[in-house]
Amino acid sequence: MMYKFRLLYLLFIFLLSAASCRKATLIGDELIPESDFLQSARSDTFTIITNTLPDDSIVTSFNLYYALGSLNDDTLGTTSADIYTQILLPTSNLTFGTNPVADSIVLMLDYAGLYGDSLAQHSVQVFKMLEDIETSTAYYSDAKLHILPVEIGSNINFVPNVSDSVYIEDSVKTPAHLRIKLSDWFGQELFTSIGDRFVSNETFLEYLKGVYIKTDVSAGHSNSIMYFNMSSVYSGMKIYYHNDVNDSLSILFPFSGNKFNAFTHDYGSVVDNYIASPDTTAGDENVFVQGFSGLKTSVRFPYLDSLKNVSINKAEIVFTIDGAYDSVFAAPPSILLVRTDSTKRNVYDAISYSIELYHSLPDQSFNDPLNYGGRLDTLINIYGQSVLAYKYDISLYIQDIVLGKLKNDGLMLVCYPGNRIPNGVTLCGSNHPDITKRPYLSITYTLVDP
């Protein structure tokens, strides 16, 4: 009997010692099911600090579609998108017959879509360029080139019709596209002293370095952005002409050279105040993400370095939209969460503009940059509420921080793909008055002996 009593006593002492040696977790024991102590722990209480910054400029000379238009948002301010493009010959050694005369010249832009108010009016202008667009140069969204400040064409107060066919040239039916008539004097100049102008692209670019297609905001900004497929057979500069032998001739000069989008932003007072006076201690009530290299959100985890000797099972972070969903000025369908450096610049391991691959976190796949999350969705948050939010699985990133493989410089929320998507959104920040809407980082981890 005494032997059994000693065994029970020793077993009791052992269990008591094991309980007293249990390592503390980052949340109270009362919040973790007792069974979980044997395997892992979870914390939703990591400090997050969010602020808004102007986004980095981005390469726009490899866009799938090119944007033209302007927006005026009560919160995000004004945005405009313009296009610089080369115009090349349809073939070398081009001839127009004896005594060619230009009847009219039209810029054609094949519609690929529209963002914003479909009934908004636009006015656009066209100018000749004085500065070359370098064929092999990648141009960024803030690039500006010199132009001749004399308008060579315009289309005033039109409403984009992105779906209805256009009938041209004796009722020839063509897909929906924008037509901008160029000035008669430009056509006359085109066929004056031709020389070797149409022998090659090089000689033609000496005459016409390119054109600048500008959204006219002199009378106020519009409220939509048009997209164009500038590689389409329905995009280019079309010349209608006649010569001594034939009438009603035409030929299309494609936009097959280098081209890029230039974006301009003038943020509203709300955003300007957040940028000028950020709360870097608790974070701001609201933060903003906007395409066209507009706005990004800085996300910092100041105490993440204190997480030591753990193996990360899963780490998820959630950002909630502030307010209702706007179907006209829709929030970005996708937002990337990317690494940043100590200077707050976005950091990527690999970028491919042609396939829109932006790889930054170890949790991302090279085949699918959004496999870790970032798509706008309706979620149930940790408070049991249904919210519109962006969620990300950043388990590998957090593990690399814990292991010291990556510096804890924080992350950035950026619009995807920001080189051609104008969408903007207001998110609940880390100091939002409704604590249930603030961003949160949920980490499940296993304690590992050092």
Each residue of 357-407: pLDDT tens digit? 999 999 999 989 999 999 999 999 999 999 999 999 999 999 999 999 999
Mean pLDDT (whole number) for 219-239: 96
The predicted structure's pLDDT at residue 354:
79
CA distance 417 to 429: 22
Q: What is the number of structural domains in the chain?
A: 2
Q: Verify that 427 and 287 share a domain, yes or no.
A: yes
Q: Verify that 89 and 131 share a domain, yes or no.
A: yes
CB 424 within 8 A of CB 295: yes
Q: Does the structure show a pLDDT above 50 at 59? A: yes
pLDDT band at 204 (very low <50, low <70, confident <90, very high): very high
Mean pLDDT (whole number) for 190-201: 91
Strands 77-85 and 259-266: antiparallel
Q: What is the pLDDT of residues 311-368, one digit of tens each?
A: 999 999 999 999 989 999 999 999 999 999 999 999 999 998 878 899 999 999 998 9
Domain-located, residue 333: yes
pLDDT: which is higher, 20 or 214: 214
Domain-located, residue 5: no
Q: Verify that 315 and 390 share a domain, yes or no.
A: yes
The predicted structure's pLDDT at residue 39:
57
Which tokens hold the place of 166?
């256009």
- Cis amide linkage into residue 439, ω under 30° from 0: no
Domain-located, residue 12: no
Mean pLDDT (whole number) for 241-257: 95
Mean pLDDT (whole number) for 15-36: 36
How many residues does the structure list for the chain? Answer: 450
Which tokens hold the place of 341?
């450096």
Mean of the per-residue pLDDT values of the chain: 89
CB 230 within 8 A of CB 255: yes
pLDDT: which is higher, 345 or 166: 345
Q: Where are the alpha helices (DSSP H) in 349-411?
A: 395-403
pLDDT: which is higher, 40 or 65: 65
For 409, other C-beta atoms within 10 Å of its C-beta total: 18
Domain-located, residue 2: no
The predicted structure's pLDDT at residue 166:
83
The predicted structure's pLDDT at residue 158:
96
The predicted structure's pLDDT at residue 13:
35
Residue located via tokens 């996708």: 334
Q: Verify that 399 and 318 share a domain, yes or no.
A: yes
Q: Does the structure show a pLDDT above 80 at 286? A: yes
The predicted structure's pLDDT at residue 265:
97
Which of 257, 287, 302 represents a domain boundary (last residue)?
Answer: 257
Percent of the chain with pLDDT over 70: 90
Q: Verify that 196 and 109 share a domain, yes or no.
A: yes
Q: Whole domain around residue 273: which residue ranges?
A: 27-56+267-447
pLDDT band at 255 (very low <50, low <70, confident <90, very high): very high
CB 297 within 8 A of CB 427: yes
Q: Which of 34-38, 250-254, 290-294, 334-338 has the lowest mean pLDDT?
A: 34-38
C-alpha distances out from residue 29 to 45, 130, 441, Å: 14, 70, 19
Q: Does the structure show a pLDDT above 50 at 429? A: yes
User: Going by C-beta distance under 8 Å and a sequence separation of 6 or more, which residues neighbour residue 31?
Assistant: none
Domain-located, residue 7: no
Closest C-alpha to 155, from 247, 222, 206, 88: 222
Which of 257, 288, 321 represents a domain boundary (last residue)?
Answer: 257
Three-class DSSP category at 416: coil
For 250, other C-beta atoms within 10 Å of its C-beta total: 14
CA distance 186 to 166: 24
The predicted structure's pLDDT at residue 385:
95
Q: Verify that 335 and 217 share a domain, yes or no.
A: no
Which tokens hold the place of 416?
């995807």
CB-count exposure of residue 135 (10 Å: 0-12, 13-18, 19+)? exposed
C-alpha distances out from residue 321 to 387, 437, 449, Å: 8, 8, 40
Closest C-alpha to 283, from 409, 76, 74, 438: 438
Domain-located, residue 20: no
Domain-located, residue 95: yes
Which of 231, 257, 283 represents a domain boundary (last residue)?
Answer: 257
Domain-located, residue 274: yes
The predicted structure's pLDDT at residue 146:
98
CA distance 200 to 435: 65
C-alpha distances out from residue 176 to 11, 32, 182, 207, Å: 83, 60, 19, 30
Q: Verify that 234 and 279 share a domain, yes or no.
A: no
Mean pLDDT (whole number) for 144-153: 97
Which residues are 377's β-sheet partners?
A: 389
Single pTM value for the model: 0.88
The predicted structure's pLDDT at residue 170:
63
